[in-house]
């Protein structure tokens, strides 16, 4: 029996044998696991119950995992960590999953011990204490307690990973954060083997630096990124 804090996990997977194996393993480790065999049922459970983390397959009957993830983030406005399962080898599929709001992914077939370790890491990061104070750099504000960001009078609508990057860079401002530091802060010791960071930083920069506004998000080529007024560079 695992001695850590038990987690309540939702497993959305249409393969009944795999879903049963994952749930049985998690429960043997002291966790509580619910299962859904299709996207619509999974989304309903995810929205109506409180889970510590969600295991989500990409290929599902009804609505696919990417759509479930996007609806959960954009429409339900929920920040529960999502670990995506995929049997696909293409890097683009993994990047799309992260851009839809997934926090991490594993490729099938996977080791159940690795799955549990990744879930624990996601939950630890999600529950990490954050300061209740509002972060501010010029007219850019971020409230870590409410997960709300503004630039002047504009509300910034960001998915979870760009929002996390925003918080990290604002806390470090005006310091430069190296790429490796950002990847470790967002994905822990298992960053995606693709250029996902650049894609998420492009999204963040496009949202923060609007037309006619002083640029605040800066890319120092070959080094990393920072959020700071241009005259602080």
Tokens 């802060």: give the residue: 185
Q: Select from 226, 25, 207, 228 the least CA-distant residue to 113.
A: 25
The domain spans of the chain are 8-127, 135-232
Strands 224-227 and 177-178: antiparallel
- Number of residues that this document lists for the chain: 233
Give me the pLDDT at residue 4, please: 65
Helix (H) or strand (E) holding 154: strand 154-156
**Exposed, middle or buried, 138 (CB in 10 Å: 0-12/13-18/19+)?**
middle
Model confidence pLDDT, tens digit, residues 64-74: 999 999 999 88
Question: Contact at 8 Å (CB) between 198 and 107?
Answer: no
Model confidence pLDDT, tens digit, residues 175-202: 999 998 898 888 877 777 668 899 999 9
Residue 153 scores a pLDDT above 60:
yes
Rounded to whole angstroms, the maximal C-alpha distance in the chain is: 59
Model confidence pLDDT, tens digit, residues 142-152: 988 788 899 98
Question: Contact at 8 Å (CB) between 131 and 118?
Answer: no
Q: Is 58 left (phi over 0), alpha (psi -120 to 50) or beta?
A: alpha
Residue 129 scores a pLDDT above 50:
no
Model confidence pLDDT, tens digit, residues 15-52: 999 999 999 999 999 999 999 999 999 999 999 998 99
Q: What CATH code would you report for 8-127?
A: 3.40.50.2300
pTM for the whole structure: 0.58
Banded pLDDT at 131 (limits 50, 70, 90):
very low
Helix (H) or strand (E) holding 28: helix 16-28
The CA-atom distances, in angstroms, between 197 and each of 124, 156, 161 are: 21, 19, 9
Question: What is the separation of C-alpha 191 from the centre of its chain, rounded to a whole number of angstroms?
Answer: 12
Query: So what CATH class is 135-232?
Result: mainly alpha
Higher-pLDDT residue of 189, 123: 123
The alpha carbon torsion through 29, 30, 32, 36 (nearest 10 deg) reads: 20
Banded pLDDT at 88 (limits 50, 70, 90):
low
d(CA 129, CA 67): 30
């Amino acid at each position: 029996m695992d001695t850590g804090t038990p987690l309540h996990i939702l497993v959305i997977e249409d393969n009944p044998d795999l879903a049963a194996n994952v749930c049985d393993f998690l429960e043997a480790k002291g966790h509580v696991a619910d299962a859904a065999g299709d996207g619509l049922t999974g989304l309903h459970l995810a929205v109506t119950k409180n889970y510590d983390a969600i295991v989500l397959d990409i290929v599902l009957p009804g609505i696919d995992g990417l759509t479930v993830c996007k609806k959960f983030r954009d429409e339900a406005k929920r920040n529960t960590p999502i670990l995506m399962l995929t049997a696909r080898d293409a890097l683009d599929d993994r990047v799309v999953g992260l851009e839809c709001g997934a926090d991490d992914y594993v490729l099938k077939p996977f080791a159940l011990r690795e799955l549990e370790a990744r879930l624990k890491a996601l939950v630890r990061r999600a529950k990490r204490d954050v300061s209740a104070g509002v972060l501010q750099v010029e007219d850019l504000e971020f409230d870590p307690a409410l997960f709300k960001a503004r630039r002047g009078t504009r509300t910034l609508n960001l998915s979870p990973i760009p929002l996390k990057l925003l918080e990290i860079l604002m806390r470090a401002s005006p310091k430069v954060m190296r790429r490796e530091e950002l990847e470790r802060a967002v994905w822990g010791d298992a960053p995606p083997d693709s250029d996902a960071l650049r894609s998420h930083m492009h999204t963040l920069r496009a949202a923060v630096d609007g037309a006619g506004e002083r640029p605040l998000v800066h890319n120092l080529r070959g080094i990393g990124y920072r959020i700071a007024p241009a005259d602080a560079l």
